[in-house]
Chain A
Amino acid sequence: AIRITQSPSSLSASTGDRVTITCRASQGISSYLAWYQQKPGKAPKLLIYAASTLQSGVPSRFSGSGSGTDFTLTISCLQSEDFATYYCQQYYNSPFTFGPGTTVDIK
């Protein structure tokens, strides 16, 4: 199975900050990568698919980049509603594996 790592595992930030989360796959996955946001007690919400395509309805402050093995999620100007846990997921090969998550909390 393809292993996915994320860094950092957690970070503290303030409203208005620029935040970057990194995801790395154990082998090349082209652009078959998605990013999800999850808030406590809720289902994950798709933010970005195909590494850089913004899901409909998701604010443009979210962006994704990368291909192959290294990927990045950037939040350009953190808002209060963005404090959550973020997961990346590869869907290049079954089993479709998730990263361990990055929790963004308030500094």
Chain B
Amino acid sequence: QVQLQESGPGLVKPSETLSLNCTVSGGSITSYYWSWIRQPPGKGLEWIGNIYYSGSTNYNPSLESRVTILVDTSKSQFSLKLSSVTAADTAVYFCARHERRHGSTSSLDSWGQGNLVTVSS
């Protein structure tokens, strides 16, 4: 059973860059797409983007100018960087796996527990 675990700072200052890692265990990072999703406190879910184990990416146009998602297969990790953050970026950030091998257009069957990131000075 694959498990995902987010890690990173819980507090980021405005205008700085938010950085999170997601470590995959209990399964292979290869052959799958991996996504980042966020949820502001008390609100709904927003898909940020995804990455294939080969490194190809898809980003939400609403965030594309500020987002970078990378993968490190040797560490079974993928990462999220969001630049120039504001209070509006305060949210729980989740990482997740797409359920179909090689399929970006598939549902998200395994999720990390989430990492709350607060943007505040």
**Docked-complex contact A100 and B44, CB < 8 angstroms:** yes
Given contacts A44-B111, A55-B109, A94-B58, contact A49 B99 (CB under 8 A): yes
20 pairs, CB–CB < 8 Å, chain A vs chain B: A34-B108, A43-B94, A43-B96, A45-B111, A46-B108, A49-B106, A50-B107, A89-B45, A89-B108, A91-B98, A91-B104, A91-B106, A91-B107, A92-B105, A95-B47, A95-B60, A95-B61, A98-B44, A98-B46, A101-B45
**Docked-complex contact A101 and B62, CB < 8 angstroms:** no
Question: Which of A32, A87, A91, A100 has the most C-beta atoms of chain B within 10 angstroms of its own C-beta?
Answer: A91
Q: Is residue B10 contacting chain A, with contact meaning CB distance below 8 A? A: no
**Docked-complex contact A94 and B94, CB < 8 angstroms:** no
User: Which residues of B56-79 are within 8 A (CB) of A?
Assistant: 58-62
A-B contact count (CB 8 A): 61
User: Which residues of A76-107 are within 8 A (CB) of B?
Assistant: 87, 89, 91-101
With beta carbons under 8 angstroms apart, the residue of A34, A45, A87, A95 that contacts B44 is A87
**Docked-complex contact A44 and B45, CB < 8 angstroms:** yes
Contacts of A96 in B (CB 8 A): 35, 47
User: A100–B39 Cα gap in the complex (Å)?
Assistant: 11
**Docked-complex contact A34 and B111, CB < 8 angstroms:** no
Contacts of B106 in A (CB 8 A): 49, 91
Q: Is residue B112 contacting chain A, with contact meaning CB distance below 8 A? A: yes
- CB B15 to nearest CB in A, in angstroms, measures 25
Contacts of B111 in A (CB 8 A): 43-45
Contacts of B114 in A (CB 8 A): 43
Q: Is residue B113 contacting chain A, with contact meaning CB distance below 8 A? A: yes
Question: Which of A43, A98, A99, A100 has the most C-beta atoms of chain B within 10 angstroms of its own C-beta?
Answer: A43
Chain A positions 18 through 58: 1 when the CB is less than 8 Å from some CB of chain B, otherwise 0: 00000000000000101010000011111001100001000
**Docked-complex contact A46 and B94, CB < 8 angstroms:** no
Output the nearest chain B residue to A92 by Cβ-Cβ distance: B105
User: A42–B116 Cα gap in the complex (Å)?
Assistant: 12
User: A34–B95 Cα gap in the complex (Å)?
Assistant: 17
With beta carbons under 8 angstroms apart, the residue of B62, B105, B112 that contacts A91 is B105
